[in-house]
Amino acid sequence: MSKTRSVVCQSFQYIQGKLLGKGKGNMCSYAKNVPECNNQSLNHFVSDSPWDHRPVLDHIQRDVTKYIGNKRDGALHADESGFPKQGNSSVGVQRQYCGRAGKVTNCQVGVFLGYSNGPYRTLIDERLYLPMEWIEDKVRRRKCGVPDDVIFKTKVELAWEMILHAKKNRIPFGWVGLDCFYGRDSWLRNQFDTHGMIYIADVPSDTLVWLEYPEIGVPSRGGGRGRPPTRRQVLPGEPKPIKVELLKKTLTQDQWHHVFIRDTERRELWSDIACLRVYPRVEGLPGDKCWLIIREDTGTKQVKYQLSNAPIDTSPHRFAQMSGSRFWIERAFEDGKGIAGLADYQVRSWTGWHHHVTITLLAMLYIMTLMLDMGEKAEFLTVQDVKEILEVIMPKKKVSDEELLRLILEKHKARQSARRSHHRRNR
């Protein structure tokens, strides 16, 4: 609701346009696909209407807690996504790294918080990253409607802000997952320790760690010249830290555990996991003792390195569950972009970006709840299956239970057949 009128009808129409569209969508195509809808009203709803997106996001978080919230097996995940753009007028656009393009290019970057519980997943919060150049450019800020109280925050700070907000909203979770960009940040990992949260963080293969705590101190001045040292450091003669990729090569067979990760479309995914207690190198000194998880997937031989502050008695199977949950949040981004139109927008303003992304997250929540409801009848139903079913039933004024059940069972039968075929070939 805005202060002047309800925008509920336009919000439904915008979601319908997303779910009915095929390929790249925009407000013109939405208006063509949705009955009694026009481009002007949708554009006003997204770009100009003064409704507050924050209460909608909080409502999404409450619904996610209701449907899939779990204190032990639920997980928060911080990640980002780039949106390639032309020109320099769209809010926050700048030449910066875009994961979608795999290179530095002209784009906007959104920082997102996701939630997963097993295969059920969705995005629950967002922040638009504004580079310092934008923060200091008063003309462009004013033109794009950036509020005066918005100050510069790093992507890591934006991620931490969302995590704290989710905790304040009492979203239940057993751990927080971080990709490599966020996982390698020692400040962020320390925040989790301070606030009593468990994390599992991807780190680069050249991350340095000690297996034993080295002796540190202020070394004596050598040679009698110069200013005496004042900074603590690892003392001469102590072992040097080792890269985690080299540490992997020193492990013996009995240090590995063969564990189940998840079911895939084609086969069960198993991995070999080694769990070691290490001291990561932080600004030249050993950090707090934590877990190093080295995971090598069977078949692909893909290797992942992760740090975690999980309790000392955490089992390899629990680490496998935590490590495997990153896959589902990556799928959530695929759902958002490929099905809910997360990357398909033509808005330039601060308000427009937040409104578009918020309604996209609402559409993702809707799809997830349908998966939960339909899953009782068709356990192999996927997000894409639900999207295709919606494309059939949404344009109709009335759909019988029999027709809906027939569509579900058709998808169910096709999914079962495909899975059996894959398993036969893999055997």
Q: Write the pLDDT tens digit of every residue in 204-245.
A: 999 999 999 999 988 776 666 667 777 889 998 999 999 999
The residue segments making up the domain with residue 5 are 1-40
Cα separation, 171 vs 342, whole angstroms: 23
* pLDDT recorded at residue 1: 47
Is 95 a domain residue? yes
Taken in order 183, 185, 186, 187, is the CA torsion positive or negative? negative
Is 267 a domain residue? no
Domain count for the chain: 3
17-31, 166-180, 265-279, 342-356: range with highest mean pLDDT: 166-180
Cα separation, 48 vs 352, whole angstroms: 7
8 Å CB contact between 307 and 280: yes
Is 174 a domain residue? yes
* pLDDT recorded at residue 132: 97
Amino acid at 202: D
Is 213 a domain residue? no
Is 226 a domain residue? no
3-17, 166-180, 343-357: range with highest mean pLDDT: 166-180
**Mean pLDDT within 44-55:** 90
Q: Is 411 helix (H, G, I), strand (E, B) or coil?
A: helix
Percent of the chain with pLDDT over 90: 61
* pLDDT recorded at residue 238: 93
Tell me the two tokens of residue 122.
């969705």
Cα separation, 156 vs 161, whole angstroms: 9
Same domain, 55 and 159: yes
Same domain, 55 and 110: yes
Residue whose C-alpha is closest to residue 130's, from 73, 91, 104, 179: 91
DSSP track, 267-301 = SEEEEEEEEEEEEEEETTEE---EEEEEEEETTT-
8 Å CB contact between 410 and 381: no
Whole-number average pLDDT of the chain:
87
Residue with the larger pLDDT of the pair 198 and 418: 198
Spell out the residues 6+ positions from residue 158 whose beta carbon is closer than 8 angstroms to its own.
Answer: 111, 127, 129
Amino acid at 384: Q
Same domain, 13 and 108: no
Same domain, 77 and 16: no
Cα separation, 88 vs 310, whole angstroms: 44
pTM score: 0.87
Same domain, 35 and 133: no
Same domain, 62 and 31: no
* pLDDT recorded at residue 287: 95
8 Å CB contact between 164 and 58: no
* pLDDT recorded at residue 417: 66
Cα separation, 92 vs 128, whole angstroms: 7
Is 235 a domain residue? no
Same domain, 91 and 159: yes
DSSP track, 139-154 = HHHHHHT--TT-----
* pLDDT recorded at residue 227: 75
Among 149-163, 215-229, 307-321, 367-381, which is the least confidently predicted range?
367-381
8 Å CB contact between 279 and 244: no
CA-to-CA separations, 351 to 43, 90, 321, in angstroms, rounded: 12, 11, 38
Direct distance between the N- and C-terminal alpha carbons of the chain, in angstroms, rounded to an integer: 56
Same domain, 184 and 66: yes
DSSP secondary structure code for residue 254 in this structure: G
Cα separation, 367 vs 77, whole angstroms: 19
Tell me the two tokens of residue 60.
């999404």
Q: Quickly state the pLDDT bin for 299 (edges 50, 70, 90).
A: confident
Same domain, 17 and 121: no
Helices (H) and strands (E) in the chain, counts: 14, 15
152-161, 267-276, 380-389: range with highest mean pLDDT: 152-161
Which residues, listed in sequence order, are joined to residue 228 by a DSSP beta bridge? none
Among 27-31, 167-171, 339-343, which is the least confidently predicted range?
27-31
Taken in order 278, 282, 288, 292, is the CA torsion positive or negative? negative
For 402, phi then psi, to 5°, come to -65, -40
Is 299 a domain residue? no
Q: How many other CB atoms are found less than 10 A from the CB of residue 406? A: 11
**Mean pLDDT within 249-265:** 92
Same domain, 31 and 156: no
Among all chains, which residue has been given the structure tokens 């690892």? 234
Q: Cα-atom radius of gyration of the chain, to the nearest Å?
A: 25
Q: Quickly state the pLDDT bin for 34 (edges 50, 70, 90).
A: confident
Q: How many other CB atoms are found less than 10 A from the CB of residue 239? A: 12
* pLDDT recorded at residue 392: 60
Same domain, 24 and 114: no
Same domain, 25 and 169: no
Which residues, listed in sequence order, are joined to residue 122 by a DSSP beta bridge? 115
Amino acid at 395: P
CA-to-CA separations, 179 to 112, 191, 315, 324, in angstroms, rounded: 12, 16, 22, 12
**Mean pLDDT within 178-204:** 97
Q: Quickly state the pLDDT bin for 41 (edges 50, 70, 90).
A: confident
Is 100 a domain residue? yes
Which residues, listed in sequence order, are joined to residue 216 by a DSSP beta bridge? 234
